[in-house]
Amino acid sequence: MLGAGGHARVLQEVLDEAGHELAAEPITDDAALGAISPSDVLLINGIGSSSDLGVRAAVFERHKAAGFNFLQLQAQTAHISASAKLLEGVQVMHMAVIHSEVVFEDNVIVNTGAIVEHHCVVCASSHIAVGAVLCGNVVIGSHTHVGANATILQGVRVGSNCIIGAGAVVLHDVPDNSIAVGVPAVVKSRS
Ligand SMILES: CC(C)(COP(=O)(O)OP(=O)(O)OC[C@H]1O[C@@H](n2cnc3c(N)ncnc32)[C@H](O)[C@@H]1OP(=O)(O)O)[C@@H](O)C(=O)NCCC(=O)NCCS
């Protein structure tokens, strides 16, 4: 386990329930990891986010470059369509529902109670936060945070490095590097 904050604590319980064994105390610095061979363990990225996904993404990318691989974790109460495609390090938390033909790229979190409908694509290191809803055919770019209880309407494309605020209802496409809040969501540049 990389990290020791709130997301890591929840992951610890999901891992226990799924029968995985944590090999050691949570790893919080490079020195502790230096003693471990990449072929002996699977890592789990315990860094969460409520907006900025830069640290979580950097942790994943740095450890991949050092030869480590990441566990894909699915909580026991999650529903995941057999036709969904989940890449490395994807974490699907309790009561999440993932329907047909969805694709999640590396290091994505689908948090507790989120619903991802058919044919959505979520790119690398993005976070679909608790209770968020992606209607069908939505595309979410990389390093984007979809806030708690946000709703993205069908067919909408949200860019990379975006923040969708908690509770937002997104009706239209959102360009890269934007922040969108409110009902209906108003879009502003992050810079
Ligand atoms: C959107 C967000 C990132 C903005 O955070 P911030 O930059 O610290 O913004 P502030 O709290 O300073 O608020 C700035 C303004 O935006 C408004 N605002 C902030 N979040 C909002 C939201 N979710 N919906 C509507 N308005 C919001 C504030 O009321 C404030 O308005 P004002 O300037 O008229 O007073 C944050 O509020 C948010 O929604 N984060 C997502 C949290 C989340 O999903 N957690 C899940 C973890 S699993």
Q: Which of 31-40, 83-92, 127-136, 152-161 has the lowest mean pLDDT?
A: 31-40
Structure confidence by residue, pLDDT tens digits, 20-74 = 888 766 666 777 777 788 998 899 999 998 788 999 999 999 999 999 999 999 9
Instruction: Identify the domain boundary among 49, 65, 81.
Output: 65
Q: Is 67 exposed, middle or buried (0-12, 13-18, 19+ CB in 10 A)?
A: exposed
- Residue 95 — φ and ψ, nearest 5°? 65, 10
With respect to residue 135, please indicate whether it lies within any of the assigned structural domains: yes
Is 184 touching ligand 1 by the criterion CB < 6 Å?
A: no
Task: Give the count of beta carbons closer than 10 Å to the beta carbon of residue 162.
Answer: 24
If we measure between CA atoms, which residue out of 167, 171, 181, 164 comes closest to residue 49?
Answer: 164
Residues 51 and 93 in one domain: no
Residue 104 within any structural domain of the chain: yes
Ligand 1 and 147: CB distance under 6 A: yes
Domains: count for the chain: 2
170 inside domain: yes
pTM confidence score:
0.96
Token code pair at residue 102: 């969805």
Residue 187 belongs to a domain: no
Pocket of ligand 1 contains residue 159 by CB under 6 Å: no
Q: Tell me how far the alpha carbon of residue 165 lies from the centroid of ligand 1, in angstroms.
A: 6
Q: Does any ligand 1 atom lie closer than 6 A to the CB of residue 148? A: yes
Reported residue count of the chain is: 191
pLDDT of residue 37: 87
Task: Dump the DSSP string for 45-92.
Answer: B----SS--HHHHHHHHHHHHTT--B--EE-TT-EE-TT-EE-TT-EE
Domain extent, residue 90, equals 73-182
CB 28 within 8 A of CB 46: no
Same domain, 45 and 85: no
Ligand 1 nearest-atom number relative to CA 147: 44
Could you report the per-residue pLDDT of 95-147, keeping only the tens digit for each? Answer: 999 999 999 999 999 999 999 999 999 999 999 999 999 999 999 999 999 99
Yes or no: say if 56 and 47 are a contact pair by the CB < 8 Å rule: yes
The domain boundary, picked from 45, 65, 85, lies at: 65
CATH number at residue 172: 2.160.10.10
